[in-house]
Amino acid sequence: MLERIKTRWPRLMSEADAAEYVGVSLEQFRIEREKKGFWPKPVDRGCRRNTYDRKDLDDAARGRRSMALWARLSMSSASVQATRERWPWSRYNGQEVQVKQGKTSTLVWAPLLPDLPELKVMLDDTPRIATVIVIDEKTKRPYTIYNLSKAFNEIRDAAGLPAEYQARDMRRAGMDETGDAGATDDELRSLSGHKDRNVVHVYVKPNRRKAANALAKRRANLANRGCDFGGGDRISAPGGAEIHLDSPVSP
């Protein structure tokens, strides 16, 4: 609840009272509502016209928790969509979340434990006020692509981030991180829902981490075969044989 809450504040209030309640002038309240979208628009309740619900003002003052939830879901599941058919509560079973990928319409499961405990906590703490997981606090409805992009841009600008950052980048960012971690093409496709292996190649970019992962896997494979990938110019093979690194290798 807002620190300014007083017992005299009614549940429904006028525009002037709403501005006083949130602690700004009436002019500033109108600017923040119309140009910045900070505050909900007035509604008609019975015979009362253009009223503001105190609960809606409280929710707006707390921030856009729905966008934080959306960001975690997007990065974790490599999906940018927040529309009704993408994230209904019926696709969260307490351990996994199933996502319908926007580009392919493929249904994929993303297990939350042990790697995504923060997302599980957020989902478990989210009130189930609708059939859809991510609900816009302002409209009380699922985000449209337009409203989602608008909310993302407002948060981006307030944080001072570059204007080229877009909501659609969340999918690629999640895939880039997964590719950088050394995931195989099949593992990436299992998360993204892509059917064509060639499509995921864009997320598997050569870098130092992948080179280190490749050498670590090679060393582990040699160790499993009984080889000693030691120092100097020799590798000890099973049976005591030594391979000199500067010797020609037979095909």
**pLDDT surpassing 50 at residue 6:** no
Give how far Cα 214 sits from Cα of 126, 225, 233, Å: 41, 17, 20
Of 90-94, 228-232, 241-245, give the range with the top mean pLDDT. 90-94
The domains of the chain, with CATH numbers, are: 12-62 (no CATH), 65-165 (1.10.443.10)
Residue 204: the pLDDT is 67
Helix %, strand %, coil % of the chain (to 5)? 45, 15, 40
Specify the pTM: 0.58
Residue 89: the pLDDT is 92
Residue 127: the pLDDT is 84
d(CA 79, CA 135): 16
Query: Which residue would you say has higher pLDDT here, 45 or 111?
Result: 111
Residue 93: the pLDDT is 92
Query: Which residue would you say has higher pLDDT here, 223 or 247?
Result: 223
Identify any residues that bridge with 107 across adjacent strands, giving them in sequence order. 100
Confidence of residue 64 (pLDDT cuts 50, 70, 90): confident
Residue 248: the pLDDT is 45
Which residues of 76-162 form beta strands (DSSP E)? 96-100, 107-111
| 75 Cβ contact list (under 8 Å, min separation 6) | 170, 173, 174, 177
Q: Which stretch of 128-142, 181-195, 214-228 has the lowest confidence by average pLDDT?
A: 214-228
Give how far Cα 228 sits from Cα of 215, 238, 250, Å: 14, 9, 20
Looking at every residue in the chain, the average pLDDT score rounds to 75
Tokens of 89: 């509560």
